[in-house]
Amino acid sequence: MQFVFATNNPNKLKEVQELLPNSIKLLSLKDINCFEEIAETGQTLQENALIKAKYIYEKYGYNCFSDDTGLEVEILNNEPGVYSARYAGETTNSENNMQKLLSNLKNKTNRNAQFRTSIALIIKGKEYLFEGVCKGEILTKKQGKKGFGYDPIFKPKGFSKSFAEMNSLEKGAISHRGKALEKLIAFLLNKID
Ligand code: IMP
């Protein structure tokens, strides 16, 4: 079975590729000559994931899946959530997003947070949704250099390392995206058999 994974993020592609069984072949957006930026205009993670998967299916005709992830911080009413990529502004980067979050949590003792990933899958025009959550806390300063996004300031529950101190397989085994992907893979393997 072959699918497009609708992402331009090489880190995500690597994480997902490592977790998939050999029977599921992955194509990147580059592989299908798609170089467009697909606008994430939805109000929820699910909507955004569906927008991207639908766009590729309708324009390029490939079975496709797409993910959207948000970091939900308890004391900030689950912000930044669906706005995680744009927390510090429309044209920002992960460093600015992390600094804004650290500053908003300054002197706060409740640092509970969770990552949530929604995956939308489209096969022959039919839509399916999968979700994964990883609970943890926001550190007071950055730790580690691996990973991407908010990884240096997120410590998953029950671990003493941040996501940025884990390799991609360690992270994938417990992460939001890993859990959502597990559900997707179980669904796909069931379909193939
Ligand atoms: P998106 O799913 O690529 O739209 O990600 C939304 C925001 O969350 C971006 O700022 C990403 O860098 C961040 N993000 C997504 N997945 C992860 C992750 O696994 N770890 C840390 N940050 C992430």
Q: Rounded distance, CA 168 to CA 81, Å? A: 23
Block residue for tokens 């939805």? 42
Most ligand 1 atoms within 8 A of CB, residue of 150, 170, 174, 176 to mutate: 150
Most ligand 1 atoms within 8 A of CB, residue of 69, 137, 168, 181 to mutate: 69
Q: Rounded distance, CA 115 to CA 113, Å? A: 7
What's the chain's Rg over C-alpha atoms? 17
Q: Whole-structure pTM over 0.75, yes or no?
A: yes
Average pLDDT of the chain?
94
pLDDT (tens digit, 9 = 90+) per residue, 127-173? 999 999 999 999 999 999 999 999 999 999 999 999 999 998 899 99
> Could you tell me which of 91, 117, 88, 115 has the C-alpha nearest to residue 103?
88
SS3 28: coil
The answer, yes or no, to whether residue 104 has pLDDT greater than 90, is yes
The answer, yes or no, to whether residue 17 has pLDDT greater than 90, is no
Closest ligand 1 atom to Cα of 68: 2
- The arrangement of secondary structure in 2-192, i.e. its CATH architecture, is Alpha-Beta Complex (3.90)
Q: Which residues contact 58 (CB under 8 A, 6 or more apart)?
A: none
Closest ligand 1 atom to Cα of 40: 4
